[in-house]
Amino acid sequence: MKYQHQHTGRPRRRAILLAAAICLLGYAGSAQAQNGRASFEQLQAMLHSAPAGGYVMTVAHRGDWRNAPENSLQAIRNCIEMGVDMVEIDLQLTKDSVIVLMHDSKLDRCSTGKGKLNQYTYRELQQFRLRDGLGRPTRHPIPTLEEAMLAAKGKILVNLDKAENFLPLVYPVLKKTGTTGQVIAGAYLSLPEMQAAAGPVLDSVAFMPKIRPQTPAISAYLDPYERARDFHVLQVKFEEDTSSLVHQLQQWRQQYGSWIWINTITPDRCGRRDDELALTAPDDAYGWLIDRGINIIQTDRPKELIQYLQSKNRRSGAVQL
């Protein structure tokens, strides 16, 4: 059942695309929930609609990087096996315009290479291997976005970080792999800025505006996105839990019919209610955020977050297809 906004607005432009995407999922069979997780079909529907029920999505930051190199295909596969709802991956562009996965613009920390990634062709990058979380070389190569999307296809949602830098190059890869309906990108940029950067491609990919205390005139920033796109995910960042943004989370959730996303990977992104606090006091971290309207949490500890959500019955209430 479709959630209705409290305001009158333009029809959801993604309804037809979503219905078609779900129909195309027949190749995957009927997805079974893992660790209480909604099926992939349900997750994809939720990404394109307002939240309903008490379901809280888990997003794995750079994949399961504690057990595989960050932004590796294995890190994505581990998340799928774990029952994570969405995996976040970082995108960079090679010298010959191939989109690959890596957080840093330089190769040094994440791989056995040296220097700026964009000074290498993709073929040249193939000589290097990814490093693990301790900085040790592994056997894992630097993957392309195409390889990553094929690994994720029909199994897990994907957040494409840094995609706003070259979205017109990202979209053809998504179209080729048949994965446009399971991804989301985001930025702190205004709608006119994003339209200038991405052009008409912006209308073909789910996009979430991002806000923080420094964002000027938040309503003036968000309303154009709502009128033009009827967005369904809003990412919020606040350094202190006393921030004025905290008191507006429920309001935005109702006003825009939006999922509210927060990152618990570092204290300064979530009012110090982060993953490390959650290790000893999960109710004071994850529970506190959920009580204030957060229902998408990006974490560096997906296993622990999933266990917590299960214990609180927050892995149920998914949209019914």
Q: What is the pLDDT of residues 161-212, one digit of tens each?
A: 999 999 999 999 999 999 999 999 999 999 999 999 999 999 999 999 999 9
> By percentage, how much of the chain surpasses pLDDT 90?
85
Residue with tokens 């309804």: 15
- Predicted local distance difference test score (pLDDT) of residue 17: 45
- Predicted local distance difference test score (pLDDT) of residue 34: 62
Q: How far apart are CA 137 and CA 134, in angstroms?
A: 9
Mapped onto helix, strand or coil, the DSSP state of residue 90 is strand
Whether residue 77 has pLDDT greater than 70? yes
* Residue 130: C-alpha distances to residues 99, 255, 319 (Å): 16, 43, 38
Q: Which residues contact 248 (CB under 8 A, 6 or more apart)?
A: 218
Q: How far apart are CA 279 and CA 174, in angstroms?
A: 36
- Predicted local distance difference test score (pLDDT) of residue 199: 95
Whether residue 13 has pLDDT greater than 60? no
Q: Indicate the pLDDT class of residue 15, thresholds 50, 70 and 90.
A: very low
Whether residue 245 has pLDDT greater than 60? yes
More confident residue, 70 or 26: 70
pTM over 0.85: yes
- Which architecture, in CATH terms, is 15-67+156-311? Alpha-Beta Barrel (3.20)
- Predicted local distance difference test score (pLDDT) of residue 33: 53
Between the ranges 10-19, 34-43, 103-112, where is the mean pLDDT highest? 103-112
- Predicted local distance difference test score (pLDDT) of residue 12: 43
Q: Indicate the pLDDT class of residue 279, thresholds 50, 70 and 90.
A: very high
Average pLDDT, the chain: 90
* Mean pLDDT to the nearest integer, 240-263: 96
Q: What angle do CA 247, 249, 253 make, to 5 degrees?
A: 145
The domain spans of the chain are 15-67+156-311
Which token pair is 282?
């999960």
Q: Indicate the pLDDT class of residue 316, thresholds 50, 70 and 90.
A: confident
